[in-house]
Amino acid sequence: MRLSILRLITALITGFGVQFAFGQANHAWGYDKEHGPAKWAGMDPAFSTCDTGRLQSPIDITGAVKEKLPEIEFNYHPAPLKVIDNGHSIQVNYTEGSFITVSGQTYPLIQFHFHRPSENMYNGKQYPMEVHLVHRRADGHLAVVGVWLAAGKPNPVLEAAWPNLPKEKGKEVTVPGVTIDASQLLPAQRTYYSFVGSLTTPPCSEGVHWFVMKEATSVSQAEIAQFSKLYPDDARPTQPLNNRPISESTQ
């Protein structure tokens, strides 16, 4: 009798705990020990790919094979600054009308956001930051352009965005009179590494086409420091390549 009551109480507590965890799951993930990348898959069944996926991002780019790859045509236009602190990073939502074209396929730019330190690495080298320019085709296919950010001269996009960050998390703010141009996040040289990967945040969905620019873009030490105050570490560790081919454009 006593034992069965104990079992009942245990079942109630456990069941309650699980429900609570599911209810919290989408907001609970983060980068600290308790809610960090190693725990993501266990937080929500929808996040299982974070553990079981074989084509996960980010990666340490090694063994890239030089190829004659198509040029990425960037058709980015200035847009009003719409910025959100989503609790995981600072994200700039982009007005319709900017896109990239690769091999005749057009991918509209929907947003860009920042990681510190860089998520993708090159032969073990990590940069102070990385920006991800996220493009989504009408059929849902995603292409992300990754740009490493290195300490140097200030960047016009960060110069415009950093003084206008929202005070409140989870709320997009349109900043009156401030325009940004995503093309100013791109390096002068447009050669890139190309591979297949995933979202680097839950639900870690695969089938994302990655283009990581070979040359880094400069941002100032002060701009890195300002982002670090908000997000000192929002980078998922690099994931196994699992024999994934990496191509490198040469022109």
Query: Which chain residues interact with Zn ion by CB under 5 A?
Result: 132
For residue 126, the minimal CB distance to Zn ion (Å) is 15
165: nearest Cα among 79, 85, 110: 85
Residue 6 or residue 145: which is nearer to Zn ion going by CB? 145
For residue 206, the minimal CB distance to Zn ion (Å) is 15
**Cα three-residue angle 185-106-172, rounded to 5 degrees:** 50
Which residue in the shown chain puts its C-beta closest to Zn ion? 132
Residue 68 or residue 199: which is nearer to Zn ion going by CB? 199
Residue 67 or residue 84: which is nearer to Zn ion going by CB? 84
Q: Which two tokens stand for residue 12?
A: 């109630």
Q: Please, which residues have CB within 8 angstroms of residue 75's CB and are 6 or more apart in sequence?
A: 98, 99, 100, 101
For residue 250, the minimal CB distance to Zn ion (Å) is 26
| Residue owning tokens 């591979």 | 195
> For the chain, what is the radius of gyration of the CA atoms?
20
Q: What is the DSSP letter of 22?
A: H
User: How close are the terminal C-alpha atoms of the chain, in Å?
Assistant: 77
For residue 96, the minimal CB distance to Zn ion (Å) is 21
Whether a cis peptide bond, with omega within 30° of 0, leads into 203 is: yes
For residue 9, the minimal CB distance to Zn ion (Å) is 43
Chain-centre distance for alpha carbon 133: 8
Q: Which two tokens stand for residue 149?
A: 């950010």
Tell me phi and psi for residue 23, to 5 degrees. -60, -30
For residue 82, the minimal CB distance to Zn ion (Å) is 17
For residue 189, the minimal CB distance to Zn ion (Å) is 22
Residue 32 or residue 65: which is nearer to Zn ion going by CB? 32
Residue 116 or residue 132: which is nearer to Zn ion going by CB? 132
For residue 35, the cross-strand partners are none
Residue 132 or residue 209: which is nearer to Zn ion going by CB? 132
| Residue owning tokens 């094979």 | 65
Residue 132 or residue 135: which is nearer to Zn ion going by CB? 132
